A and B are shown apart, each in its own frame.
Chain A
Amino acid sequence: MNNFELLFQGFTVAFALPNLIAALLGGILGIVVGAMPGIGAVTGVSLLLPMTFKLNPTTGIIMLAGIYYGNMYGGAYSATLMNIPGDSPAVMTALDGYELTKQGKPGKSLFAGNVASFIGGSIGIIFLTIFGPLLAEVGLKFGPAEVAALIFLALTSIGWLLGDDPVKGLIASGIGVLLSTIGIDGASGLPRFSFGNMNLISGISFIPLVIGMFGFSQVMEMMQPGSSTHAEPAKRLTLRESFLDRSEMKRILMPSLRSALLGNFIGFLPGAGGTTGSFLAYVMEKKVGKNRAQMGKGAIEGVAASEAANNAAAVGAFVPLLSLGIPGSATTAVLLGGLMMWGLRPGPLLFESDPTFVWGLISSMYIGNLVCLVAGMAIIPFLMSFLRIPTKIMAPIIVIICIVGSYSVNNNMFDVWFMIFAGIGAFYLKRYAFPIPPVLLAFVLAPRFEISVRQALSISNGNAMVFLQKPIALGLLLFTFALLLAPVVMKIVAKIKKSYK
């Protein structure tokens, strides 16, 4: 039987009433959990996993897939409404999403995010259906040297987010890199910059950092006299105003498709993940998109690029899980635990030994994605009413969310203090026009870059040529340098042309 026949067989499984209800419940639960900052997909899925044990394996995993999806949708909501990304892939969503909210167009951002998430997820699932195991093979081509080159490309792309003053942008990136080096050195096991402090030895957690730098510093800005950072639309926003009209749908279609393809590809590479995916997609959009000038100032294209890419990456992580039994992300690792509990063993044989399960799961992803789209749309009017809460009430609420969110990551008070410290730091950075996103992106990407470089060098016995001998790594590096040199070359070409004239 070919994949499509198996898929349709899967649909008959997924369309059974209990399975549909499971998908719907999972999707809604997932959205609610995903929208809470600090909880995120990993915690959400592990909290809800035990609920599914009472169900049969197929129904259970369908519900889990719904939860997983819902989480991806929900992450964008707090990023848009409160400028607090629920999880690291949503950092890029916050850039344009919150700008739109400030302009009184939160509905447009939420709507664009939902549609883009749906497109991203669908493309991811379609690729999984058609190519499945084949994609996993491509992912394997990325060893330490290749991953290092890919992250190098991502790191240099931070340049396009630096804002008006590149020097300040570089300083911001440097702060991110420095913060990320605190803690145990992954290659040798020795503590760095911990000053003997127990809390610093295990390193700085991302969630408190991001909640502080985005959310808490936001509140501080709101509290300034004469501040107008928090939108208080005088009139009630109607649902109709938040629908995207035809031309706006057209505007986000291409960016979503492009970003979904890129995000999906990065999703099944080992260790790259949704953050790198949404980040590179955003940068690509800023380079090639029609509306690139508006990106970062409240463009629906920016929201779409980030959301489409991180949803596609989330599905991409299923590829190595189902075809090789290797989880591509922390969340899929939790799912792996669930699969093993039901006596399934993910690996190269799963597609053959348990086709009902695999195709039931894949077809339920189609349904889960659709369910989340509908549920997400239905929730928009309610979410928008949040914004009608006046600043004097909203600010304390956000502070509480910041504190609870950062505490709940590790159940550790140190994270709360660190969140407040990061918030105050970010407030002054912003005041002196240092951009914040480079800090966070450098913080996420630098450790992965460091470990990949060190692995590549220890495989090659310290020979740095390893980055040039591997064709994929070489290609990525050449591409990076071409991108870096392009503006200079263009200028020279333009000059020569002028002199000819």
Chain B
Amino acid sequence: MKRISVLFLCLIVGIGSLFAAAQAEQATYPDQPIELVVPASAGGGSDIMARLIVDIIQKNNFSSQTIMVVNKPGGSSAAGHSYVNSKPNPNYTLFTANTAHVLSMNINKSKSPKGEFTMIANLAMDNVVFVTSADSPYKTFDDALAAIKANPKALTVGTADNLDKLCVVQINQEAGVDFNTVYFNSAGEISTALLGNHVEFGIFNPGECIGLVEGGKLRVLAAFSPTRLAAPFEAAPTFAELGYPGVEFQMSRSIMAGAGMSREAQLYWSDVMEKVCATDEWKQNYIEKDGLEDLFLNADDFTKFNTESERKIVEAAKSIGLL
């Protein structure tokens, strides 16, 4: 019996090393499993997107390698970025990014000391909505404004990152009110707090609250988009309609990689993402369902795009004292 046990252990070790050997034999990139880091906790907008991308890639065999989603929440995405920066080889780690994360890279100085992050691709543009729970007394955005004017600081908006906070600060400035904000690790946590009436309002991307809006648990009071969103958000007016044209936001959803990724790897992943964005699954299960807008940009176009949008968002943050 003793011998059998030892034998079995040898077997386990042997099988393990086989895996290692098999991976070492492939010469072309990617020759190792890839990590896709989500700098937010499970269940939020970035997480939903990352898991869908991985599922599409694996289902359609767009890449020969396994891709693992790794959640690194905390510090408004700084924990995730420093995790990416800690990787010795930049070619095997991707991460999801969005405008909020780009902002926090500047606020928390979480960029790599080795240089700028590598831009892979822009996948879509996401919208932002101002939400309350369905049984709250605030039927319209004006109800909320009246209440906060009567009682400054008494109403709280749940935010999951600095961009959400920037949205609230913009409302506060444009409408001359004083909403209180509280930080949560993810939109999932904000919706839990909203449904339990622990906070009055929350900032969401449509995809993060669509199930609860359809289910009649949450009510959308206003949208930060330039035009009204599709169903089930069509009833919510834009801030411009409400008389605050200065309150407008759309955020980019993208894939980036650590500083110093090879050109070969950058183009490889840009191509894979282009294939992902062309699938019906992506269009139906993500873009349409979660109320986003299709906007694919490859590695080079996205590099230009991001430089410009980063400049704008940093300016906005500076003007209100976030930076």
Chain A positions near chain B (C-beta within 8 angstroms) = 43, 46-47, 49-50, 53, 139-145, 183-191, 198-199, 201-203, 236, 270-271, 320, 324-327, 330, 333-334, 336-338, 340-341, 343, 345-349, 385-386, 388-389, 393, 397, 400, 404, 410-412, 414, 451, 455, 458-459, 461
Contact A270 B192 (CB under 8 A): yes
A184, A325, A340: the one contacting B75 at CB < 8 Å is A184
| Pair B191/A340 contact, Cβ less than 8 Å | no
0/1 string, B43-60, CB within 8 A of A gives 1: 100011001101100110
Residue contact B52 to A348, C-beta cutoff 8 Å = no
Contact in complex: A185, B47 (CB < 8 Å): no
Task: Report B-chain residues with C-beta under 8 Å of the C-beta of A143.
Answer: 193, 196-199
Enumerate chain B residues within 8 angstroms of A236, measured Cβ to Cβ. 1
Are the CB atoms of A397 and B9 closer together than 8 Å?
Answer: yes
Q: A341, B196: Cβ atoms under 8 Å?
A: no
For B86, list chain A residues within 8 Å (CB): 198-199, 201-202, 412, 414
Q: How far is the CA of A327 from the CA of B195 in the complex (A)?
A: 14
**Closest Cβ–Cβ distance, residue A310 to chain B (whole Å):** 19
CA A141 to CA B191, docked complex, whole Å: 12
Known: A53-B58, A189-B76, A459-B182. Contact between A46 and B68, CB under 8 A?
yes
Residues on B lying within 8 angstroms of A by beta carbon are 1-2, 4-6, 9, 13, 16, 35, 41-43, 47-48, 51-52, 54-55, 58-59, 66, 68-76, 78-80, 82-83, 85-87, 104, 107-108, 153, 156, 162, 180-185, 188-189, 191-193, 195-199, 210-212, 214-217, 281, 284-285, 289
Which of B1, B59, B180, B185 touches A451 (beta carbons < 8 Å)?
B185
Q: From the candidates A187, A202, A203, A325, name the one contacting B212 in the complex (CB within 8 A).
A: A325
Task: Decide if B83 touches A190 in the complex (CB within 8 Å).
Answer: no
How close is B230's CB to chain A, nearest CB, in angstroms? 15
Task: Tell me if B215 and A202 are in contact (CB < 8 A).
Answer: no
Alpha-carbon separation in the docked complex, A326 to B68 (Å)? 21
Name the residue among A140, A343, A345, A349 with the largest chain B CB count within 10 angstroms.
A140
A389 with B5, Cβ < 8 A, contacts A189-B104, A349-B215, A459-B182 known: yes
A198 adjacent to B85 (CB under 8 Å): yes
Besides A345-B214, A412-B86, 7 more A-B contacts (Cβ < 8 Å) are A186-B75, A187-B183, A333-B71, A336-B42, A341-B59, A348-B212, A385-B4
Q: Is the CB of B83 within 8 A of A202?
A: yes
Chain A residue numbers with a CB within 8 Å of B80 are 202
CB distance from A207 to the nearest CB of B (A): 13
| Given contact pairs A143-B198, A184-B82, A186-B74, A348 touches B215 in the complex (Cβ within 8 A) | yes
Give Cα A201 to B195, complex, Å: 33
Contact A340 B156 (CB under 8 A): no
Pair B1/A385 contact, Cβ less than 8 Å: yes
Using Cβ atoms and an 8 Å threshold, which residues of chain A touch B217? 324, 348
Of all chain B residues, which has the CB nearest A347?
B211
Bound CA–CA A347/B72 (angstroms): 25
Cβ-defined contact, B196 with A340, below 8 A: no
Distance A389 CA – B1 CA, assembled complex (angstroms): 9
Label chain B's interface by main secondary structure: helix
B-side contacts of A185, CB under 8 Å: 75
CA gap between A257 and B236 in the complex, in Å? 48
Question: Are B75 and A388 interface neighbours, CB within 8 A?
Answer: no
B contact residues around A458 at 8 Å (CB): 156, 180-183
- Bound complex: CA of A201 vs CA of B87, how far in Å? 13
Residues of B within 8 A of A455 (CB): 182-184
**Cβ-defined partner of A324 (8 Å) among B6, B42, B195, B214:** B195
A346 to B208, CA, bound (A): 11
**A348-B198 contact in complex given A191-B75, A198-B82, C-beta closer than 8 Å:** no
Q: Which residues of A have CB within 8 Å of B199?
A: 143, 459
Give A343 to B191 CA distance when docked, in angstroms.
22
Cα distance A140–B189 when bound, in Å?
10
* Complex A-B: 24 CB contacts under 8 Å: A143-B199, A144-B193, A184-B74, A185-B75, A186-B183, A189-B75, A191-B78, A198-B86, A202-B72, A324-B217, A326-B43, A326-B191, A333-B42, A336-B42, A336-B51, A340-B285, A341-B52, A341-B55, A341-B285, A347-B211, A385-B4, A386-B5, A412-B87, A458-B156
Q: Which A residues lie within 8 Å of B78 (CB)?
A: 184, 189, 191, 201
State the Cβ distance, A366 to closest chain B Cβ, in Å.
26
**Inter-chain contacts of B6 with A (CB < 8 A):** 389, 393
Known interface pairs A46-B69, A341-B55, A348-B215; A334-B108 also in contact (CB < 8 Å): no
A-B complex: 3 closest residue pairs judged by Cβ atoms: A347-B211, A348-B215, A333-B42
In the complex, which residues of chain A have a beta carbon less than 8 angstroms from the beta carbon of B72? 202
A199 and B88 alpha carbons, distance in the complex (Å): 11
CB distance from B108 to the nearest CB of A (A): 5
